[in-house]
A and B are shown apart, each in its own frame.
Chain A
Amino acid sequence: MMAHPSQLGFQDAASPVMEELLHFHDHTLMIVFLISTLVLYIIVAMVVTKLTDKLILDSQEIEIIWTLLPAIILILIALPSLRILYLMDEINDPHLTIKAMGHQWYWSYEYTDYEDLGFDSYMIPTQDLTPGQFRLLETDHRMVIPVESPVRILVSADDVLHSWAVPCLGIKMDAVPGRLNQTAFITSRPGVFYGQCSEICGANHSFMPIVVEAVPLEHFENWSSMMLEDT
């Protein structure tokens, strides 16, 4: 799951939280279009009018209206927003915890729940790509997780600020040296999900992508056994 050329909107959601965020964005954008259309009409009407009024007296009615109406609109935006905010904060008994460490200029992943599995994830340089691979998005090792399982990611950094982001899962979490940030997600379907470092971190900030691969549990277990044998 990645952006396609000239894409304007969000990527297709691959987690329940991202689906909620998509619908909330639609709801809020609808309100934005409503207000913008109204304001644009009023501006045009005011620009073309021949009426002028030197004394605007006692406009209590309209003052009440244009105080109450925006307050109601803001509440209509705030309620679903807070709902999603608290939904995102729920840590729902993760099956797996992975540490994602940002370095200049690659990510490293540590799976230490059962054994000590750790590996680095470097971007594949453009000249080494095979046909079908995505430029500036592929990595030599992918972060593999079991599909439809709650996963906790602990994000930190080794040197400077980075940010671990995967748009179609609705995740972005800053990687701060000396700090552990926690985020959790569930993938709704199997697949490969791409992201890029989202905090300026030096010369190769644009060249340290993130690739998450969601596969059924038995394949995840085979992969992690194979990775442990290799290291």
Chain B
Amino acid sequence: MSLQKPMMRGLLAKRLRFHLPIAFGIAITVALSYKFGVTEPRKKAYANFYKQYDAVKEFNAMREAGVFESVRPSGK
């Protein structure tokens, strides 16, 4: 009865071959999720906000709401 010789070398390499792709895969997935979940939507949100932004209309709305102190609502 002879036992099979156990694997005695390359244990670290085997472990690295298993774990490193998973580690990098998860890390890159997290980074890409942040990029496409937060960064790009934020850039688009700012671009879209200013694409249709009418400064005069917004100013008048704020003025009538009494937000400013240097400019009173137009009725007063």
Chain A residues near B (Cβ < 8 Å)? 13, 19, 22-23, 26-27, 29-31, 33-35, 37-38, 41-42, 45, 49, 51, 53, 141-142, 144, 147-148, 188-192, 213, 215-216, 219-220, 222-223
Contacts and interface: CB of A to CB of B under 8 A. Distances in A.
A45 B55 contact: no
Interface of B: 11-12, 15, 19, 22-24, 26-28, 30-31, 34-35, 38-39, 42-43, 46, 50, 53, 55-56, 58-59, 62, 67-71
A19 B45 CA distance: 11
B70 A215 contact: yes
A41 B22 CA distance: 9
Contacts, number: 86
B53 A189 contact: yes
A41 B68 contact: no
Contacts of B71: 215, 219, 222-223
B34 A29 contact: yes
Chain A CB within 10 Å — which of B39, B43, B53, B58 has the most? B39
Q: Which 8 A-B pairs have the closest CB atoms?
A: A223-B70, A34-B31, A38-B27, A26-B39, A190-B59, A41-B23, A37-B27, A144-B70
A216 B59 contact: yes
A134 B62 CA distance: 16
A31 B59 CA distance: 39
A50 to B, nearest CB: 10
A189 to B, nearest CB: 6
B55 A19 contact: no
